[in-house]
A and B are shown apart, each in its own frame.
Chain A
């Protein structure tokens, strides 16, 4: 997509969950890449597979989920087939993870400073004194006042917004090249959310860190991401530059999704709505998974599953953009 080789490349990823009643395919044939310094937003409804894609990349899929096909490359090297110990070293050092709930990410029994210092001494060639000095620096950088005093505080002594800043510091302190952030601001109030997003953006820009930002909040995506992938029923429905996907979506699903967001700048009598609901993993329809809800459905959609096709400004998995399609 750009001249620089991608930092992260996901090729034809497929994640399966074997169950007693057959195998469920949670993610199917998902491919994308992220360049250094780039922010890729991943959006979609709950159950679309966005968080699971993130979990697959950082190697923390919940068993019995497993990568059944495809590969994940970081800097051109495969990381999807590494052993647990090898992957553990990559997590933290090369890939930082930020999750939705800051309380479950932090260990309640250790002080914030100890957790930061331990992460750095594990991954970076520095001693404890240097690690402590840097821990204070990081806390200051993420906007925690009186960092030198608060370094010996425990997570419960911080408020929600402050804790999420600590989590961000923790994810960034080993200076990873890629950050996988899963709903990093969902648990926060708007005013705190704005502070956290501003912080993530600045850090990504200054340190050249690439970011995969998973969220269902389209407003956050619009202001943060460079490119967006819209997921539906385990597949990418559309991927492209943020401005195009948000304003001029080509896939009927992304268009519907954007249309259903209540606008802040005017009152509308009736919000656009997509009728029905996303199919369950055990009952994904034949052909395009969106066809039962799609206002522009035609015969081919019910039979064959579309791959990502060139839709001009974006790439969309929709037969409308198949040059050879015969509309029926």
Chain B
């Protein structure tokens, strides 16, 4: 996997937001500035033609990573490298910008309601000046609509005439219209019904194979992530807790948070079985706990976890940021039921 240079790389990526109160109020109540560390130093690489997924609960920073990766946010520290070029440099070139596109979560908010579907899909083609004549543009739009399972006749309609699943297909067609190689998908199916979700996931897999696309896939749903990913990163409070090949992660999850997350998911196999909730809640990223951010909820936490922040270290073919795993204390926490029953 490491032979070819990766299509996409995040190096020590961080994004902090200033969430301080207005200056006058700060002076009156004598408080300092407050920073929200949405993403706090994460690194990963995505080889061409593969999918990396980031999972985690809300507030863990996964959507911020997505936005950093396409340049909608500029990083506070670290760098995004796209095909060997720094993103800031690549974004300045229209030809490079064209190669990456994003699919958003809410297909009701991401399509302009006043534009016809044909114009929505043709916009990237026109903006990048990819196809000159109107007739050829129309042909390309028709081809894209067919590719995502809609009818070429749909191009004269408006977004409100479509259901959520069809709208997400339109978003995909728009993203594909500039012939991108890298797609960032931020929760592309979480606003959809399961039956529609299956259609969209199948479509995305098909398109990936046919067009050799590289995906960064953001989701909170582990079952969905298992179906689409080659590698998976589990995020907690702005950092990666674990980064592993998809099958490794589901066969032997190492980080206590990954295990707890898997244990907490309801599953069809669950009829009549109790699931074990992760205790407590995700702490505030403005005042994260000392040491390992997961230690207040972790059954394996000890003094070192409270003091010292763990770094991602290799454990088998995974990378895990956990003192307990490093010290070999992780056997004390049982594997999630879903892993035990599969074994």
Contacts and interface: CB of A to CB of B under 8 A. Distances in A.
B341 interface: yes
B198 A260 contact: yes
A45 B220 contact: no
Interface string A178-222: 000000000001111111011000000000000000001111101
A266 B223 CA distance: 9
B278 A264 contact: no
A31 to B, nearest CB: 24
B195 A266 contact: no
Interface string B137-179: 0000000000000000000000000011110000000000000
B227 interface: yes
Nearest to B274: A198
Nearest to A221: B266
Interface in B322-343: 338, 341-342
B277 interface: yes
Interface stretch (B33-41, B199-207, B310-318): B199-207
A260 B267 contact: no
Indicate the member of A194, A242, A268 with the most B CB atoms within 10 Å: A194
B20 interface: no
A219 B265 contact: yes
B208 to A, nearest CB: 12
A32 B274 CA distance: 27
A258 B194 CA distance: 9
A303 B338 CA distance: 45
A267 B226 contact: yes
Interface string A280-296: 00000000000000000
A264 B267 contact: yes
A266 B57 CA distance: 22
Interface residues of A, number: 45
Contacts of A267: 226-227, 246-247
Contacts of A162: 281
Given A46-B193, A218-B194, A194 B338 contact: no
A222 B266 contact: yes
B315 to A, nearest CB: 22
B199 A275 contact: yes
Contact of A191 (B195, B267, B277): B277
A192 B277 CA distance: 7
Indicate the member of B269, B271, B338, B342 with the most A CB atoms within 10 Å: B271
A273 B198 CA distance: 6
Contacts of A264: 222-223, 226, 262, 265, 267, 338
Contact of B277 (A194, A268, A275): A194
Nearest to A201: B274
B210 interface: no
A277 interface: yes
A189 B221 CA distance: 10
Given A197-B266, A268-B227, A277 B281 contact: no
A194 B272 contact: no
Given A159-B281, A194-B266, A262 B227 contact: yes
B342 A190 contact: no
B264 interface: yes
Contacts of B260: 191
A189 B194 contact: no
A243 B198 contact: no
B151 to A, nearest CB: 13
A218 to B, nearest CB: 6
B247 to A, nearest CB: 7
Indicate the member of A46, A162, A223, A274 with the most B CB atoms within 10 Å: A223
B268 interface: yes
A271 interface: yes
A49 interface: no
Interface string B232-272: 00000000000000110010000000001110111111111
A82 interface: no
Contacts of A46: 164, 193
B273 interface: yes
Given A159-B281, A192-B281, A194-B277, A273 B195 contact: yes
A243 B273 CA distance: 12
B42 interface: no
A190 B258 CA distance: 12
B226 A198 contact: no
A243 B224 contact: no
A36 interface: no
A283 B264 CA distance: 40
B57 A190 contact: yes
Contacts of B281: 159, 161-162, 191-192
Contact of A190 (B198, B224, B226, B264): B264
Given A191-B57, A277-B165, A257 B273 contact: no
A68 interface: no
Closest 4 CB pairs of A and B: A219-B266, A194-B277, A260-B198, A191-B278
15 contacts: A45-B194, A45-B195, A194-B266, A194-B278, A198-B277, A216-B194, A219-B266, A223-B266, A223-B275, A260-B198, A261-B194, A261-B223, A265-B267, A265-B342, A274-B198
